[in-house]
């Protein structure tokens, strides 16, 4: 069972588990998701979909072997608009799914985030770093929901012996990202494809690292099947500045957009880069898709979207 199945990562996970011959139950309340992401799966006999809010009681009939809890608004634009739902799905939603896992004797993997490190004071961030989070800042609703999620998951593991996994996901990109989710990469791609100027917040020297979605899904799949309950970072350690990324996107789209600068939002992390030694050692995992290839596939996807979506200016 995959929660957040109609979202970006959830839909790719559904595809992966279907490809591995699982029977997949997708669950989503569509608050930030899009049914188009799973439309191709509806005709399959081994895919079921429930439209349901996992912050409310969750029940599904029959046996469950694995639960992947990916339901949560994930981009700043979303969780700033729906802060209470974000806190609820990370807390109540996680609690409901841990309860479901316990009742079905299923293994559960929860989607945590590099945001648990906040604006990190060490770089790259190993799993042992406790983070630098402002609980009452605008991003606190997401960061603290995910920190609570991790704590609750470990408590179920320790108290009930539940089989739990925690993945700390670093920025991931690829087809099915939402154009207007406010994140730099889809925004830049849409702006470049429209021939508009690319907007950088701050001076563009802040860094991010971007993991292509198939690499992320492979890491999650391996972690689910591994025997390790503590959090594991999955991301690409190849760090770059936002300004370099903007330039790469302009080049990859073959357009001639300019770059314009706006002031930096509050609590925007200045750097983010995963230490993936643990994933390498435990899962024998490392990213394999180059940025050039990843960007090519992502831009190709954005080009297939209806023009009116690309032209919308709400990103
Ligand atoms: P997304 O917004 O594309 O997908 C999230 C999905 O969850 C959406 O389909 C949404 O409708 C659904 N959802 C939200 N609240 C729900 C609820 N209460 N009940 C049922 N469904 C609900 O986001 P994404 O990028 O695919 O992120 C998926 C997960 O991965 C999230 O938990 C997010 O925190 C985590 N994550 C993602 C990234 C990334 O780079 N994409 C990075 C770190 C962590």
DSSP notation for the chain? -EETTTSHHHHHHHHHHHHTT--EEEEE--SS--GGGTGGGTT-TTEEEEE--TTS-----S--SEEEE--S--SHHHHHHSHHHHHHIIIIIHHHHHHHHHHHT-EEEEEEEGGGGBS-SSSSB-TT---B--TTSTTHHHHHHHHHHHHHHHHHHHHH---EEEEEE--EE-TT--TTS--HHHHHHHHHHHTPPEEEESSS--EEE-EEHHHHHHHHHHHHHSS--S-EEES---EEEHHHHHHHHHHHHT----EEEEPPPTT--S---B--HHIIIII-----S-HHHHHHHHHHHHHHS-HHHHH----
Q: What does the pLDDT read at residue 147?
A: 98
Mutational pocket test of ligand 1: of 16, 25, 33, the residue with most ligand atoms within 8 Å of the beta carbon: 33
CB burial string 222-237: b at 16+ within 10 A, e below = bbbeeeeeebbbbbbb
Averaged over 193-213, what is the pLDDT? 93
Cα 73 to averaged position of ligand 1 atoms, centre (Å): 5
Beta-ladder partners of 198: 259
Q: What does the pLDDT read at residue 308?
A: 81
Averaged over 115-127, what is the pLDDT? 93
Averaged over 87-107, what is the pLDDT? 98
Q: What does the pLDDT read at residue 146?
A: 98
Q: What does the pLDDT read at residue 166?
A: 99
Give yes or no for residue 183 having a pLDDT over 90: no
156 is catalytic: no
Whether the CB of 55 sits within 6 Å of ligand 1: yes
- Six-digit token string for 103: 């009742």
Distance CA 202, CA 289 (A): 29
Q: What does the pLDDT read at residue 267?
A: 67
Whether the CB of 33 sits within 6 Å of ligand 1: yes
CA angle 270, 275, 277 (to 5 degrees): 175
Q: What does the pLDDT read at residue 266?
A: 72
Whether the CB of 116 sits within 6 Å of ligand 1: no
Q: What does the pLDDT read at residue 307?
A: 81
ipTM: 0.99
pTM: predicted TM-score of the whole model, two decimal places: 0.96
Ordered DSSP codes for 221-273? HHHHHSS--S-EEES---EEEHHHHHHHHHHHHT----EEEEPPPTT--S---
What are 236-289's pLDDT values in tens digits? 999 999 999 999 999 999 988 999 999 887 767 777 899 999 999 999 999 999
Distance CA 93, CA 75 (A): 18
Average pLDDT across the chain, whole number = 94
What are 25-72's pLDDT values in tens digits? 999 999 999 999 999 999 999 999 999 999 999 999 999 999 999 999
Q: What does the pLDDT read at residue 111?
A: 99
């Amino acid at each position: 069972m995959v929660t957040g199945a109609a979202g970006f990562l959830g839909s790719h996970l559904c595809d992966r588990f279907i490809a591995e011959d699982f029977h997949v139950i997708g669950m989503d309340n569509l608050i930030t998701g899009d049914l188009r992401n799973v439309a191709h799966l509806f005709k399959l006999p081994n895919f079921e979909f429930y439209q349901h809010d996992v912050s409310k009681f969750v029940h599904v009939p029959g046996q469950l072997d694995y639960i992947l809890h990916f339901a949560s608004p994930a981009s700043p634009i979303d969780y700033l608009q729906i802060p209470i739902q974000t806190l609820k799905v990370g807390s109540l939603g996680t609690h409901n799914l841990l309860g479901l896992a316990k009742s079905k004797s299923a293994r559960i993997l929860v989607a945590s985030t590099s945001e648990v490190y906040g604006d990190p004071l060490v770089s790259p961030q190993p799993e042992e770093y406790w983070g630098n989070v402002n609980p009452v800042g605008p991003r606190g609703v997401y960061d603290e929901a995910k920190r609570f999620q991790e704590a609750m998951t470990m408590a179920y593991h320790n108290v009930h012996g539940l089989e739990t996994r925690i993945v700390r996901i670093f920025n991931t990109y690829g087809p099915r990202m939402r154009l207007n989710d406010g994140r730099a990469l889809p925004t830049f791609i849409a702006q470049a494809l429209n021939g508009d100027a690319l907007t950088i917040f701050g001076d563009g020297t802040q860094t991010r690292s971007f993991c292509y979605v198939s690499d992320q899904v492979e890491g999650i799949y391996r972690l689910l099947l591994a025997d390790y309950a503590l959090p594991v970072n999955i991301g690409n350690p190849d760090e770059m500045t936002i300004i370099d990324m903007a330039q790469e996107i302009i080049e990859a789209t073959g357009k001639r957009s300019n770059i314009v600068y706006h002031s930096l939002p509050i609590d925007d992390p200045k750097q983010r880069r995963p230490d993936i030694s643990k994933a390498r050692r435990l899962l024998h995992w490392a990213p394999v898709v180059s940025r050039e290839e990843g960007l090519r596939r992502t831009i190709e996807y954005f080009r297939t979207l209806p023009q009116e979506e690309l032209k919308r200016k709400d990103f």
